[in-house]
């Protein structure tokens, strides 16, 4: 599954979703994780209530399952959830991306909590649905 992190330094989860200029994306499996890419946003990203600035971010995250943020507004969180992307808040801006990735891999190999099992199930359904579409072509 793909997991995204709002960051300003590529080390910590330290950016608000709406004003994040960078979102790092990783592919996470039970075997480990790999960096995929950095999504960059240059538009007017001030925290000003302008909901239109969220559209490119949400579209760019369409293949992600989880997005870790320092903070997120209710409207943005709801929009992500409607797209089957689960937003998660970091404990503090000192929380490190690699530490979260290590914990996530360990959790996937152990007994994931119910919310994560549901997310994994949704991810598997997306993959099987995508595979089904390919068979028709």
Query: In this predicted model, what pLDDT tens digit does every residue of 64-101 receive, in sequence order?
Result: 999 999 999 999 999 999 998 999 999 998 999 999 99
Tabulate helix, strand, coil % of the chain (nearest 5): 40, 25, 35
Q: Give CATH for domain 2-95.
A: 3.30.420.130
Round to whole Å and give the CA distance between 75 and 81.
Answer: 10
Q: Does residue 3 contact residue 29 with C-beta atoms inside 8 Å? A: no
Question: Do 15 and 22 meet the contact criterion of CB atoms below 8 Å apart?
Answer: yes
Confidence band for 42, pLDDT divided at 50, 70 and 90? confident
Token couple for 87: 């937003």
pLDDT value at residue 49: 55
Per mean pLDDT, which range of 6-10, 23-27, 39-43, 87-91 is the poorest?
A: 39-43
Predicted structure pTM score: 0.85
pLDDT value, residue 45: 53
Extract the tokens encoding 105: 């891999």
């Amino acid at each position: 599954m793909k997991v995204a992190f709002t960051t300003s330094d590529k080390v910590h989860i330290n950016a608000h979703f709406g004003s994040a200029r960078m979102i790092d994306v990783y592919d996470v499996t039970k075997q480990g994780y790999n960096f995929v890419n950095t999504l960059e946003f240059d538009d007017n990203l001030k925290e000003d209530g302008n909901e239109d600035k969220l559209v490119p971010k949400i579209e760019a995250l369409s293949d992600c399952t989880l997005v870790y943020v320092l903070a997120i507004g209710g409207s943005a969180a709801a929009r992500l959830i409607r797209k089957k992307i689960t937003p998660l808040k970091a404990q503090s801006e000192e929380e490190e991306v690699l530490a979260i990735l290590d914990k996530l891999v360990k959790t996937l190999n152990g007994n994931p909590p119910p919310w994560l099992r549901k997310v994994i199930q949704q991810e598997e359904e997306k993959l099987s649905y995508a595979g089904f579409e390919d068979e028709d072509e």
